[in-house]
Amino acid sequence: MPGPGKPRIEAVRGDITREQVEAIVNAANSALRGGGGVDGAIHRAAGPRLAEAGAALAPCQPGDAKATPAFDLDPPVRHVIHTVGPVWHGGGQGEPGILESCYRRCLEIGTALGVKSIAFPAISTGVYGYPPALAADVAVQTLRATPTRVEVIRLVAFDDFTYQLYLDRLT
Ligand code: APR
């Protein structure tokens, strides 16, 4: 049983919109109105009220995060925590620090919201071009280092390659 501040971190392979957790993290853009990739999937599943709620909180700066209700997501989820990851420009423009901030801020907000379980997509590794292995390093290291009252952290991989990266770092 994990002690206080020591969440269980696990990797799964699947679609984050189907995860049975209290909060799911969205890899959004600063306008918080939806997009492609996981952002598009979450907005399609949550319905049009998600974009309205996001627009009311926009802009969200890279590395920061903002929480909204999850509306029509089924299975029911309490919150969507929208975070804006770094666009990869080769790694010399502060990208690792911004990605680390995404994971840390989402955990801080999850703790503040009192959620016990949270699911993350592989932030920035799609459209934003962050190399998946480097992103997995940042994700696991940051999640292990950030004190939180969240008890279960689930890293949801949409492909086998990303899933294996997580397994290699968690076992
Ligand atoms: N469930 C879980 N993961 C998913 C899903 C899904 N349904 N759909 C895509 N993914 C994965 C991708 O395979 C990738 O590994 O999420 C990861 C992040 O990829 P993107 O969704 O492209 O997000 P990102 O790279 O952070 O780019 C964000 O893309 O969609 C736009 O509005 C968004 O401008 C923002 C940018």
One digit per residue, the tens of pLDDT, for the chain of length 171 reads 445 568 999 999 999 999 999 999 999 999 999 999 999 999 999 999 999 999 999 999 999 999 999 999 999 999 999 999 999 999 999 999 999 999 999 999 999 999 999 999 999 999 999 999 999 999 999 999 999 999 999 999 999 999 999 999 998
Distance between CA 90 and CA 58 in Å, rounded? Answer: 27
Ligand 1 pocket, residue 37 CB under 6 Å: yes
Q: Taking the CB of residue 171, how many other CB atoms lie within 10 A of it?
A: 6
Q: Cβ distance 90 to 105 under 8 Å?
A: no
pTM: 0.97
**In CATH terms, is domain 8-170 a member of 3.40.50.2300?**
no
Ligand 1 pocket, residue 84 CB under 6 Å: no
Ligand 1 pocket, residue 100 CB under 6 Å: no
Tell me the two tokens of residue 80. 């969507």
Domain ranges (residues) in the chain: 8-170
Smallest CA-to-CA distance from 46 within 10, 76, 12 is with 76
- Write down the catalytic residue from 39, 72, 137, 160: 39
Atom of ligand 1 nearest to the CA of 39: 30
Q: Is 39 considered catalytic here?
A: yes
Smallest CA-to-CA distance from 70 within 118, 34, 111, 22 is with 22
The 8-class DSSP code of residue 146 comes to: S
Distance of alpha carbon 36 from the chain centroid: 15
